[in-house]
């Protein structure tokens, strides 16, 4: 049984992935530091779905603490999801993103080097593409124009991962996620905020004229892609790849809001505001490489995904 070190295990993506890995027969050593970016109780609720599983071990560790990392049991592979998230907060406090995302990832790589572990799947981001004018975004596109500290921290990690691949023969897949949404989504993200405000009878803020677009990817499709990436890196030698995990279907902000309106069947009041610093105009994933190497094929439409999110939201907020 392969033992997976999974960072960010209590988060949105990490908790779903933990369940998938355990279902597939893996042993999981889950790390999380309960970063105060949002309420600890949300992460504890995420963990409650699998924390008692016999093949799951949880450690509350900050991966920026190299001494604490030394206490982790032996493991065979790494899935490194943990990071300081959020484009806008990174503009307000760039130093913390450099420390957590870059130095923290270096600590994970150093731990792998020390333990002679050679396999990793890394969570990167579509934000590295910046305001790329060529669409859809392809892995070979130039990505030298990040427009937020969060974006440059993720690109820096991709480059650092290549260095460790080259120097220490580590097999690494960097997965560029595209606006993942669904049950357990972080409360600061747009879909979660919109649904919460609509259900509470509050107005919602629309930044820009509604023409900005995102390649929204449902959580179960993303989890399928991560698991396929894990199997790929598990079974191949001398690999370093960057792979888009998107839905290949950008949705305009105005369309997203209209679809949420349909799904919730509630009236909404929209306050239009200017675009915010660090926001990109569009994200749009070319997923040919993911299809070719991983057999990845997202299946969930924005309508169906939003319906599942709203059902989950209503369930966890029922009184």
Residue range 23-42, pLDDT digits in tens: 999 999 999 999 888 899 99
Quickly list H helices, the chain.
12-23, 40-47, 66-69, 87-92, 94-97, 104-115, 149-168, 190-199, 219-235, 253-264, 288-294, 302-316
pLDDT at 150 over 80: yes
pLDDT at 277 over 80: no
What is the CATH code of the structural domain delimited by 3-178+217-246+285-299?
A: 3.40.50.720
Residue range 281-295, pLDDT digits in tens: 899 999 999 999 999
Q: Spell out the residues 6+ positions from residue 258 whose beta carbon is closer than 8 angstroms to its own.
A: none
Distance in angstroms (rounded) separating the CA atoms of residues 210 and 73: 48
How much is the pLDDT for 279?
Answer: 76
How much is the pLDDT for 38?
Answer: 85
Please report, rounded to a whole number, the percentage of residues in the chain having pLDDT higher than 90.
84
How much is the pLDDT for 280?
Answer: 80
How much is the pLDDT for 6?
Answer: 98
161 neighbors 175 (Cβ within 8 angstroms): no
Min mean pLDDT across 70-74, 168-172, 278-282 is at 278-282
Active-site option among 150, 164, 181, 313: 150
Of all helices (H) and strands (E), which one includes residue 121? strand 119-125
Among residues 271, 318, 300, 312, the alpha carbon closest in space to that of 46 is found at 312
How much is the pLDDT for 267?
Answer: 78
Min mean pLDDT across 174-178, 209-213, 214-218, 246-250 is at 209-213
Place of tokens 């699998």: 50
CA dihedral 177, 183, 188, 190 (to 10 degrees): 70
Domain boundaries, the chain: 3-178+217-246+285-299
Query: Is 181 known to be catalytic?
Result: no
Distance in angstroms (rounded) separating the CA atoms of residues 29 and 291: 29
pLDDT at 301 over 60: yes
Question: Where does residue 142 rank: exposed (0-12), middle (13-18), buried (19+ CB within 10 A)?
Answer: exposed
Confidence band for 319, pLDDT divided at 50, 70 and 90? low
Pairing of β 251-252 and β 213-214: antiparallel
Residue range 38-97, pLDDT digits in tens: 899 999 999 999 999 999 999 999 999 999 999 999 999 999 999 999 888 999 999 999
Confidence band for 1, pLDDT divided at 50, 70 and 90? low
* Average pLDDT for 187-198: 92
How much is the pLDDT for 270?
Answer: 86
Residue range 97-107, pLDDT digits in tens: 999 999 999 99
């Amino acid at each position: 049984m392969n033992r997976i070190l999974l960072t960010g295990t209590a988060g949105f993506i990490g908790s779903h992935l933990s369940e998938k890995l355990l279902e597939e027969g893996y042993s999981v050593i889950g790390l999380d530091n309960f970063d105060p970016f949002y309420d600890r109780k949300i992460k504890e609720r995420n963990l409650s779905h699998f924390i008692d599983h016999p093949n799951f071990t949880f450690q509350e560790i900050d991966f920026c603490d190299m001494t604490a990392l030394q206490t982790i049991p032996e493991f065979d592979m790494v899935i490194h999801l943990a990071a300081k998230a959020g484009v806008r907060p990174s503009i307000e406090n760039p130093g913390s993103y450099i420390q957590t995302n870059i130095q923290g990832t270096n600590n994970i790589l150093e731990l792998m080097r020390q333990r002679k572990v050679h396999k990793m799947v890394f969570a990167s981001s579509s934000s590295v593409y910046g305001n790329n004018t060529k669409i859809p975004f392809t892995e070979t596109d130039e990505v030298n124009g990040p427009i937020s500290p969060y974006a440059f921290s993720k690109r820096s990690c991709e480059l650092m991962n290549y260095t460790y691949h080259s120097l220490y023969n580590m097999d690494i897949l960097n997965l560029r996620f595209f606006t993942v949404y669904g049950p357990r989504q972080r409360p600061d993200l747009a879909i979660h905020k919109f649904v919460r405000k609509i259900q509470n009878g509050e107005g919602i803020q629309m930044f820009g004229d509604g023409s900005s677009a995102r390649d929204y990817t449902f959580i179960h499709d993303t989890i399928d892609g991560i698991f396929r990436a894990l199997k790929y890196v598990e079974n191949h030698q001398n690999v370093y790849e960057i792979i888009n995990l998107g839905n290949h279907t950008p949705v305009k902000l105005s369309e997203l809001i209209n679809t949420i309106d349909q799904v919730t069947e509630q009236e909404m009041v929209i306050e239009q505001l200017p675009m915010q610093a660090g926001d990109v105009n569009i994200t749009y994933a070319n997923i040919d490489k993911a299809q070719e190497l991983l057999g990845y094929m997202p299946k969930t439409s924005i309508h169906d995904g939003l319906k599942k999110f709203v059902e989950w939201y209503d369930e966890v907020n029922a009184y």
